Amino acid sequence: MWYCTNCGNESSKWMGRCPACGEWNTMVEAPSEKKSAKSGSKGLAARASSGRKPVLLKEIDRSKEPRLMLGLPEVDRLLGGGIVPGSLVLIGGEPGIGKSTLSLQIPLASGLKTLYVTGEESARQVKMRADRLALSSGEVPPDGAFPRTGLRSNAEAGGTSPDNHGDEQTLVFTETKIESIIAEAEEIRPELMIVDSVQTMFTETVESTPGSVSQIKEVAAMLLRFAKESGVPVILIGHITKDGYIAGPKILEHIVDVVLQFEGENRGSYRILRSIKNRFGSTSEIAVFEMTGTGLREVANPSEMLIPMHEAGLSGAAICAMLDGTRPLLFEVQALVSSAVYGTAQRSATGFDTRRLNMLLAVLEKRAGFHLSAKDVFLNMAGGLKVSDPAADLAVIAAVLSSNFDYSLPGDSCFAGEVGLSGEIRPVGQTDRRIAEAARLGFKRIYVSSYTPLPDNLPKEIKVVKVADVPALVKALFKNA
Ligand code: TYD
Ligand code: MG
């Protein structure tokens, strides 16, 4: 069998290009999948006599399965209100982004009896990390500073057993053979199991090396089976690289119940945990963390960190009122427009689709007569945010023009609107909520599409400026430039 390391597509022969996802050179051989399939079916036959019977849908008692609180309110919110017993949650992200840190903060914060399996670190390393993290919850701050709030006591977080201290409830297990892990878990019966990482685990039923596609698939399938049968929720950590090539989270997405993805620029200290799949809650929600010297600190109000740190009056910056999932979020878009040093102009965007940037520049050129084709344009989304909300278009255009004119925009203005190919400004979803959040944060002016239907009960403190197209925006913003 051959597998695509990008999407997990199976094929009986090698192909240069995966027919499912269209990626090149992603097919790898998975030699002994047959053997695993055989043992899998044996397992199935064994379970056939487990005495279980189909149950009527209406007779299934849902109330018996309360969710478990992990003690980190932002993570609980992302999961849809705590973790569901028997679910398999995958936390993916690039190496060094903070997956192991988060996965250790969870048992410490929740006080749940946790089996913490690690194939990456020694028990001592885990202990050292835990000590470092414990500093943030300790009563006595080490340097007399105010303690960070990354870890909350279980009582405060509304957890199940206020008297438990996380480190008395966490069992560290340095093992990579999945059969031993599951056997141990069945014996211990923890309330939560964490496995760091799927790439280091292996099963005897598959012959290939740990980290290969077939190993990862089988390990995840076995953990899923364990979770469903025992009711123990399992958090599985998986590495991905920037180009997503290493076998991992991508091929697991359809096996697991929940996928949370860590994002963020490694050089910045902010990390974003995004829910990209959730069988028990909504997707495209995010939680924001700050990596501190003592672990990850939850940033309960991300808008406050994403809006400017500098004095107002710099050109090339515009604030966007974005909606991430269900939560409005204000952040700064920064642009730098300068004369091209080399023959061809450079276009580069961080956290924003470069093709979309090129389209917006073409609209500025064609519909508003700005000759930017000989200019380098750099675009950056504050805080390492990756933005896909079309409402960012208007702020991008405003930031680009601001830099181009070297004329700063008023710091109390923000933007929410999509820009169409003919230069028209189109309405975006839930504009009223964006306006409400902007008003709450003290903004005095928000630019939206003229075509936005708005309710009457908008906050009075903020002026809603309606613009119909790009030339109208230019007139409204830069008449003095
Ligand atoms: P880690 O959780 O090991 O990343 P991953 O498991 O995703 O590979 O964390 C990596 C980085 O976080 C590492 O460079 C050190 C830093 N870090 C802190 O800044 N503060 C801390 O308290 C901890 C534990 C780690
Ligand atoms: Mg790690």
DSSP string for residues in 205-219: TS-SPTTSHHHHHHH
Domain 304-478 has CATH 3.30.230.10: yes
Residue 44 to residue 451: CA distance in whole angstroms = 58
Which range, of 143-157, 158-172, 366-380, averages the lowest pLDDT?
143-157
Ligand 1 touching residue 367 (CB < 6 A):
no
For the Cβ of 440 lying below 6 angstroms from any atom of ligand 1, the answer is: no
CA 307 to chain centre: 20
Domain definitions of the chain by residue range: 1-30, 66-300, 304-478
- Is the CB–ligand 1 distance for residue 291 below 6 Å? yes
At a CB cut-off of 8 Å and minimum separation 6, what does 391 contact?
320, 321, 322, 323, 415, 416, 417, 418, 428, 434
Please give the distance, rounded to the nearest whole angstrom, from the Cα atom of residue 18 to the centre of ligand 1.
35
Q: pTM for this structure?
A: 0.72
Give the pLDDT of residue 457: 83
Cis peptide before 197 (omega within 30 of 0): yes
Q: Has residue 156 got a pLDDT over 50? A: no
| Whether the CB of 101 sits within 6 Å of ligand 1 | yes
Q: Do domains 66-300 and 304-478 have the same CATH topology?
A: no
The band of 465, judged by pLDDT with boundaries at 50, 70 and 90, is: very high
Distance from the alpha carbon of residue 95 to the mean position of ligand 2, in angstroms:
7
Q: Confidence band (pLDDT; 50, 70, 90) for 309?
A: low
Condensed to tens digits (0 to 9), the pLDDT of residues 388-397 reads 889 999 999 9
Q: What is the mean pLDDT of residues 112-135?
A: 91
Q: What is the DSSP letter of 436?
A: H
Taking alpha carbons only, the member of 456, 386, 451, 391 closest to residue 417 is: 391
pLDDT at residue 412 greater than cutoff 60: yes
Nearest residue by C-alpha to atom 1 in ligand 1: 98
- For 66, phi then psi, to 5°, come to -75, 155
CATH 3.40.50.300 fits 66-300, yes or no: yes
Number of Cβ within 10 Å of residue 362's Cβ equals 13
Q: Which ligand sits nearest to residue 93's alpha carbon?
A: 1
Indicate if ligand 1 lies below 6 Å from the C-beta of 99: yes
Q: Give the residue, by CA position, lying nearest to ligand 1 atom 2.
A: 98
* 437 has a pLDDT exceeding 90: no
| pLDDT averaged over every residue in the chain | 83
Given a cut of 70, whether residue 477 has pLDDT beyond it is: yes
Strands 445-449 and 413-415: parallel
- In terms of Cα–Cα distance, which of 226, 165, 224 is closest to 190? 226
Distance (angstroms) between ligand 2 centre and the Cα of 196 equals 7
For the segment 252-256, the average pLDDT, to the nearest whole number, is 88
Least confident segment among 30-39, 224-233, 421-430: 30-39
The tens digit of pLDDT for each residue in 179-238 reads 999 999 999 999 999 999 899 999 999 888 888 888 888 999 999 999 999 999 999 999
Longest dimension (CA), the chain: 80
Instruction: Quickly tell me which residue has 């076995």 as its tokens.
Output: 222
Confidence band of 57 (pLDDT split at 50, 70, 90): confident
Instruction: Give residue 34's pLDDT.
Output: 46
pLDDT of residue 159: 38
| Rounded distance between C-alpha atoms, residue 23 and residue 453, angstroms | 42
Note the pLDDT of residue 154.
Answer: 36
